[in-house]
Amino acid sequence: MEEVQLTELTGKMTLDEKIEQMTQVTAAFINKEYSEGAVTGPFAGMDIAKVDASGAGSVLGEAGAAKLNKLQKTYMDNHRLQIPLLFMADIIHGYKTIFPVPLAIGCSWDTEAAESSARIAAREAAASGLHVTFSPMVDLVRDPRWGRVMESTGEDRLLNSLFAEAFVRGYQGENLKETDTLAACVKHFAAYGAPEGGRDYNTVDVSERELYEHYLPAYQAAVDAGANLVMTAFNTIDGIPATSNQPLLRGKLREEMNFNGVVISDWGAVQEAIPHGVAENKREAAKKSALAGVDIEMMTPCYLNHLKELISTGELSEGLLDEAVLRILQLKNKLGLFEDPYRGGDEEKERITLLHDTHKKKARELAADSCVLLKNKNEVLPLKKSTRAVLIGPFASSKDLMGAWSIYGEEKDVVSLTEGMTSLSSSVVTTEGSGIHSTNEALLEEARNKAEKADVVVLALGEHSEMSGEAGSRSQITLPQAQIQLAETVASLGKPIITVLFNGRPLDLNQILNLSDAVLEAWFPGSEGGHAVSELLYGERNPAGRLTMSFPYNTGQIPVYYNHYSTGRPKKSGTLEDRFLSQYLDVPNEPMFPFGFGLSYTSFTYKNMTLSGHTFTEEEPMEVTVDITNSGSCRGREVVQLYTQDLTGEVVRPVNELKDFRLVMLDPGETETVHFLVDATMFAYYHSDLSWSWDPGTVRIRVGRNSEDTQEATVTLTKTSKG
């Protein structure tokens, strides 16, 4: 349709039809066949179940070409104006082929692979009839107690921005009318990743400048990449819930960030203005969200029940609704739904697309590149295939490797670690040893007996997938005690121990590090996880992942992140001789494993860091070069990282900031000269008046393998060129 036709269509709609377009429900509310004739289960007690929502303009949480095509036909047959339904779902890290969780994908530092994973997810989901994914989540995260850190790509604004762009490109392709694409919905606007105490849905309190400097850039990157929807956050911003927040949504998002797509609430968030304490009732909640600019209300009936009355009393204008409805129709038009309401959903295409071998191959490669080798004492890894290994632990044969938000993935399609290791070596035996949370003396004894006969022990430990993700907050982020007991039992035998961790957040690893010779952080690696991890264990692949979220020394350090601000009394050494400094008396200030950290089976030597001068300007950037040599015995990939520090600012500046990086693949003995260009804009920041500019002065430039292990030089940034 042309834009004028969409405007005309809006004019033909009744007020009720407009409000229905602004409402999203699950399929059961559109067609009772999806709930066996009635709205049952947890939905039955919800307010939305008490109204007729059968005319709602979009559906979430249902998938499958046959189901969605049938649902679309029923809806279209009963819709006066033949406006098709939008089908949306949480396609977060894969549809049927499940990729690693986003935090793991971030640890690959490979934005091209991330884009490819989103492209595959879109291809599979679109063949199954879906139109929109509630992804990417670009929330910056610094507190691993919050379960949803697994959905983010980490603690750095640059990396989060680059991955946000990559995911949007992957989902949406060049043209949304292509039937193997999905519209991307960036979330959660804004700063959902900073809840107090790491407790989901909790208060967020960040300064305006902090919001602009660290939290908004990734959303802006997603918007600039063309994301067609934005989802509001559950939390407050400056004391106002995001879903009722007019300065946030109409001010920052629409006016400042130039977003002109659809704004959708998160599940029930419009009505949650009442328990937040900013709306007395559902009528007021509807009014505040409509005024704020929420186009679609998800799974509560505040709009259905109250928008019409609010317009009749003059408290809202119908023009406000027309703007929202036009944006929704524009999205449906972009997707080509007016020409083909069944866009992309095809049972035969679905059959040949889902879990295609090329998709699984990509998932396997990305899973391997996302794993981070944290420890490798005496080079116990990689294993020889002839080594007698015993695989022990609750994740030895478990298929719970997909992680949260893999709702359409199936465990029957997951490769376990046992399956992966035995496909590469005939010298592997397996035993459970313990449950995730429970101990069993018989299992412990069996584990001990098998370990005694082995040359090396591989412990498969971690969190159940439900221990992270939404509503998966934890006050203590150690491994469950049953697994520590298992590790202690096996360690008493004196055999080399390799621990593989399956989890969705950085953990407090003090206990397990002391018991292990090697530790491989595998995260939740997805459908092909067992193969990917096994190939790393046996050296068929070389670990290349680098952390994008710091691992705390213990929970008491949290939040701990690499780009923290300077203090007036910084700790200068590792001793406690001077008490009156910013420090802990019982643990280091630094994390256990810093941002950017990761080991390899080879070694990389950094030499000859060279700068093109002692000063640089806006017109004449600084060129930085460094020679990277593979000084080990096998081919490997290094992530060469460039950091900067502005030593003096109008406001306090971070002690370190990632500004660029390179992925370098080198054969043994090979050297590559890596080039970076450092320009003045890298030192721009938000000043106290929220103006964006850079200051002349002394700056540090660092290049290295992680945020703590770098070479550095001090140079001067000046306003004008010489002469």
Tell me which residues are annotated as active site. Answer: 266
- Give the tokens for residue 138: 């670009």
The string of DSSP codes covering 557-592 is G-S--TTPBP-SS---SSS-SS-SSS--SSS-SS-S
Name the residue among 341, 376, 418 with its Cα closest to residue 87: 341
Question: Which stretch of DSSP H or E encloses residue 658?
Answer: strand 657-666
Residues 655 and 168: their CA atoms lie apart, in Å, by: 31
CB 374 within 8 A of CB 510: no
For residue 382, cis peptide bond before it (omega within 30 degrees of 0):
yes
Cβ count within 10 A of residue 235 = 25
Residues 144 and 133: their CA atoms lie apart, in Å, by: 25
In a 10 Å sphere around its CB, with 0-12 CB exposed, 13-18 middle and 19+ buried, how is residue 577 labelled? exposed
Q: What angle do CA 231, 235, 241 make, to 5 degrees?
A: 85
Per-residue HEC secondary structure of 588-611 comes to CCCCCECCCCCECCCCEEEEEEEE
Cβ count within 10 A of residue 527 = 29
Helix, coil or strand: residue 55: coil
Residues 366 and 110: their CA atoms lie apart, in Å, by: 9
Beta bridge partners of 456: 389
Please enumerate, as own/partner, the contacts of 682-688 that have beta carbons within 8 Å and a separation of 24 or more.
682/644, 683/644, 683/646, 683/717, 685/213, 685/646, 685/649, 685/651, 685/653, 686/209, 686/212, 686/213, 686/651, 687/650, 687/651, 688/209, 688/650, 688/651
Residues 125 and 65: their CA atoms lie apart, in Å, by: 9
Name the residue among 4, 170, 27, 154 with its Cα closest to residue 85: 27
C-alpha Rg value of the chain to the nearest Å: 27
Nearby residues of 2 by Cβ (< 8 Å), 6 or more positions away: none
Tokens 């969200």 belong to which residue? 289
Residues in the chain: 723
CB 594 within 8 A of CB 564: no
Beta bridge partners of 417: none
- Give the tokens for residue 670: 């090979």
CB 436 within 8 A of CB 474: no
- Give the tokens for residue 410: 């199936």
Exposure of 40 in the CB half-sphere (CA atoms within 13 A) = 7
CB 636 within 8 A of CB 602: yes
Question: Which stretch of DSSP H or E encloses residue 73?
Answer: helix 65-77
CB 411 within 8 A of CB 527: no
Residues 435 and 432: their CA atoms lie apart, in Å, by: 7
Cβ count within 10 A of residue 692 = 11
Q: Which amino acid is at 100?
A: P
Name the residue among 664, 607, 667 with its Cα closest to residue 632: 667
| DSSP alpha helix (H) spans, 396-527 | 417-424, 441-452, 481-491, 510-515
